[in-house]
Structure 1
Amino acid sequence: MSERIVVREYARLTTSPLQKNTLDEAQISESAFDWLCDLAARFRSSGAALLQMNGRRWLRLDSYVGVLESPCGQIIEILPKHHQIDACEESARALLCKLIASALDSSSRTTTEAGLQIYKTSLSEWVMRQFLLAFDHLLKRGLRFDYLRIEEEQPFLHGQLDVVRQMRQPPGRQHLFNIRHDVFLPDRPENRLLQSALKLVCQSAQDAENWRLAHELGGMLMEMPESRDFAQDFRLWRNDRLMAHYQPLKAWCELILYQHMPKAVSGAFRGISMLFAMEKLFEGYVEQQLRKVLPKGASLRSQAREKYLCQQDQEKIFQLRPDLMLQLDDRPIILDTKWKLLDAGDRAHNYGLSQSDFYQLFAYGHKYLNGQGRLILLYPSYEKFNKDTVISDFNFNENLNLSVLPFDLEDEKSAASLIDRLMTGKSIGRH
């Protein structure tokens, strides 16, 4: 079965026949089902939950998004669940692409009208498209070459004679010269990695435009060697001023070659598979948007680590790491992001809020704010929780307040609105 299945977070997958595949339920092949079970076991061994068994022939996905391709060719695309009413596949894919581009710090140059059309195909094709566009732009600016030292034995003199090795020539080979010389070649770690990523794209691309551009670029670089050790070449990737025009490509190259991503799945089979934790994508996007609108004198830190919950025998235990710490007009404000859909009208069930999250924010407030100040919990905005359906503030004491706020992923002004409300110093929720 080579059909592409499109679902979203927490969807159920089965091998049993269904009347129709939806974003919340879909049928997959037997071999893909078994492969997912093996993959989930590997995730569990590393402390992550990819999916849960729901009966003998059902699997329920967790909060990972991205695309998976099984060895049998079954493609499963997992989109974010940011809406419940009138869920649209294209808008969910567009949102995911925006969040991934934000996580990779992709420049706005790639967000063109032509690039937006890729949202209608698949996530993997969009990733390959971004890589190809960035690679094409790099080639127009020119590849970086480097001098490579060559030591060889030739019947003629070229470059520098290696006198020591020449004096040790055995009888019968004294007519050959041991020489050293430098050759100006594109054989450097960055180019080798790009060639390896391009070769994988050439093998995997299904979109006609991606296939054409990939093979066009491949024809221009036929003699460039591939990387034999991805990890080593990534360590040797230079970030100096002369290599600045290579930086937009590094993140896409890492993604395609399965390196340094939150969760990436690689294998010997064809295709590109990648998974991302939605919590991390949401947190990274919020941080990036806030940094764009910070007023003068304000600062934003991510993952502060200087405080601990307690200590024992003078040893600190249980490190506290809030997602974001905002310093605004000499007032520290702690912001924590949670990827979960709340219901502002469900007061009976505490709007879907988690008691453990409140314990966590309570500890942040006392350790980082000394029990005085403002705490913010940010959740994604959607039909049942948005700027028009605000949840009242929560008070830990007279001086320590917690606000639960929506963050609109589709409104570029959401971060600016949040900063404006915080600068007024007024209570955010209704009372």
Structure 2
Amino acid sequence: MPDRTEVRLGEYESVELGSEQLTSRDVDCLHALRARGCFSLHPDRAGWRLKADATVGVVLLDRVRLVVEPKFAIPGKQLMAWLAYALGAPIPTTVRRWTTAPDGYADLVAAALLDECQKLLREGLRRDYVRRQSLEPVLRGRLDGAAQATRRYGQLDQLHVRTFDRETDVWDNRVLGTALKAAFALTTHSQLARDLHAIMGAFPHAAPPFAALRALDRVQYTRLNAHYRPAHTWARLLLRGGGVTDLLTDQGSAAGGLLLAMPALWEAVVRRMTTEAAAPHGGHRVPSNGGAGITVRGDLGSASTFRPDLLLSLPGPDASRRVLLPIDAKYKRYDRYGVSAADIHQLLTYSAGYAPSDAPKAVIVHPRSDGHGRRTLEVGGPQGALGVIHVLGIDTHAHPQQATEWVRTTLL
């Protein structure tokens, strides 16, 4: 592992980098990450000024190890709890010993993967039948007559055979070997690196990252491999550079690293939290795309669509009628500042398109760090009320399940 200068900053913070610290390849990498909304990079008199967006994690450059720490809403010690909640994965026991300082978010995810892989080893890795072709001194399995005739020319001192044995060299295990290798490259904590290195040899030969990701995208869980789901969750997070298919935006990375888009994480948290809060009241999530979306037609170009982060179907006042409640996750400082006009317009559009005309309402859910909070925006005009917007602030210092219970008692 090459020696790199470690540079730390918080999300939305900036740092100066000397021109000698960034190679041309580093500049290309950071420009690629800027196109994905992770950073902004501008030249200045001393070299470069790098500013982080709503992103946390680590990027390995040629001469710099760039660490972006959570500063806005979710504290470092709680980041793994909220991430595990969003992913629907248990919080590994070893992760409780880690914080984001000084080891970093990447070490937290690596520790989570390590813990799950150690559990799998204690229980015994899954085995399945694997077909092999080999050259043996005695007959095992079936003789490959064609290979024996064309390659050995009738000699019987060695036999071409086809075997079908139960082995651990299956995709469930191979993708974990790939993820452990990626985690080892990212971690800086010496004990964690030793533990990762020690366990890597217990897993089959690692597949290339692109092949491992394809296998993870195709995996189907049954009673035989359901216990692999948590380990595969952390492996997928590492191999995608911080993004998770169908849950967190797949930002990818042009360099080695692990970056987590915090707005995408917050959307995933709100999606699960409000769905679970509504379930005891008979509510459930409904799709807001396709024919259920709010569509704008007739303008230049293709039609545009408005879609809330979450659309809940709830029992109405009349037992035979259900109502829709649009909910949007906003990773913004709405605990300190007023809701922007653009967001008010957006939520009014949602309430007009989905909520009952006699009681149009919508919900904004944002993070905060000093206790839960709620306020109600009443929007009106000369002709009367236009709608109501409930602004819920979730205390990210609390446990996710406690926050879910608060949403249940407050919103529904």
TM score, norm. by length of structure 2: 0.81
* Counterpart Cα distance in 1 of 2:190 and 2:304: 52
Q: Once the 2 structures are TM-superposed, how far is the Cα of residue 407 of structure 1 from its aligned partner?
A: 1.9
| 1:11 aligned partner | 13
Identical columns (%): 23
| 1:341 aligned partner | 333
* Counterpart Cα distance in 2 of 1:391 and 1:366: 17
* Counterpart Cα distance in 2 of 1:81 and 1:381: 9
Q: Once the 2 structures are TM-superposed, how far is the Cα of residue 97 of structure 1 from its aligned partner?
A: 2.7
CA contact (8 A) 1:302 1:322 kept: no
| 2:213 aligned partner | 231
| 1:298 aligned partner | 283
The AA in structure 2 aligned to 1:39 is C
The AA in structure 1 aligned to 2:407 is L
Q: Where does structure 2 lack aligned partners over 5 or more consecutive residues?
A: 245-249, 316-321
1:28-82 per-residue CA deviation (whole Å, 9 max, x = no partner) reads x742486664234223555x35225375542322222222221214332232312
CA contact (8 A) 1:291 1:300 kept: yes
Q: Once the 2 structures are TM-superposed, how far is the Cα of residue 117 of structure 1 from its aligned partner?
A: 3.4
Q: Once the 2 structures are TM-superposed, how far is the Cα of residue 277 of structure 1 from its aligned partner?
A: 1.8
Q: Once the 2 structures are TM-superposed, how far is the Cα of residue 174 of structure 1 from its aligned partner?
A: 4.8
| 1:409 aligned partner | 396
CA contact (8 A) 1:162 1:179 kept: yes
Q: Once the 2 structures are TM-superposed, how far is the Cα of residue 145 of structure 1 from its aligned partner?
A: 1.2
- Alignment coverage as a number of residue pairs: 384
CA contact (8 A) 2:5 2:65 kept: yes
Q: Secondary structure at the match of 1:39?
A: helix
Q: Once the 2 structures are TM-superposed, how far is the Cα of residue 15 of structure 1 from its aligned partner?
A: 2.9
CA contact (8 A) 2:31 2:40 kept: no
| 1:394 aligned partner | 379
| 1:39 aligned partner | 29
Q: Give the number of the structure whose residues are more often strand, by fraction.
A: 2
* Counterpart Cα distance in 2 of 1:169 and 1:81: 69
| 1:173 aligned partner | 154
Q: Once the 2 structures are TM-superposed, how far is the Cα of residue 376 of structure 1 from its aligned partner?
A: 0.9
* Counterpart Cα distance in 1 of 2:350 and 2:113: 40
1:224-264 per-residue CA deviation (whole Å, 9 max, x = no partner) reads 21113323432453422210011001121122223654323
Q: Secondary structure at the match of 1:74?
A: strand
Q: Secondary structure at the match of 2:114?
A: helix
| 1:160 aligned partner | 142
Runs of 4+ in 1 over 6 A off after TM superposition: none
Q: Once the 2 structures are TM-superposed, how far is the Cα of residue 14 of structure 1 from its aligned partner?
A: 0.6
* Counterpart Cα distance in 2 of 1:68 and 1:244: 32
Quick check: 1:283 aligned with 2:264?
Answer: no
Quick check: 1:190 aligned with 2:172?
Answer: yes
Quick check: 1:80 aligned with 2:80?
Answer: no
| 1:273 aligned partner | 257
TM score, norm. by length of structure 1: 0.77
Q: CA RMSD in A?
A: 3.2
The AA in structure 2 aligned to 1:106 is A
Q: In structure 2, do the counterparts of structure 1 residues 80 and 106 end up closer, same or farther at CA, with 3 Å as the change threshold?
A: farther
Q: In structure 2, do the counterparts of structure 1 residues 63 and 160 end up closer, same or farther at CA, with 3 Å as the change threshold?
A: same
Q: Once the 2 structures are TM-superposed, how far is the Cα of residue 137 of structure 1 from its aligned partner?
A: 0.6
* Counterpart Cα distance in 1 of 2:130 and 2:230: 25
Q: Which residue among 63, 72, 85 is the counterpart of 1:102?
A: 85
Quick check: 1:324 aligned with 2:310?
Answer: yes
Q: Residues 20-99 of structure 1: matches in 2 within 5 Å?
A: 30-32=20-22, 37-45=27-35, 48=37, 50-53=39-42, 55=44, 57-82=48-73, 92-99=75-82
CA contact (8 A) 2:40 2:50 kept: yes
Q: Which residue among 100, 110, 115 is the counterpart of 2:96?
A: 115
Q: Once the 2 structures are TM-superposed, how far is the Cα of residue 171 of structure 1 from its aligned partner?
A: 8.8
* Counterpart Cα distance in 1 of 2:343 and 2:4: 42
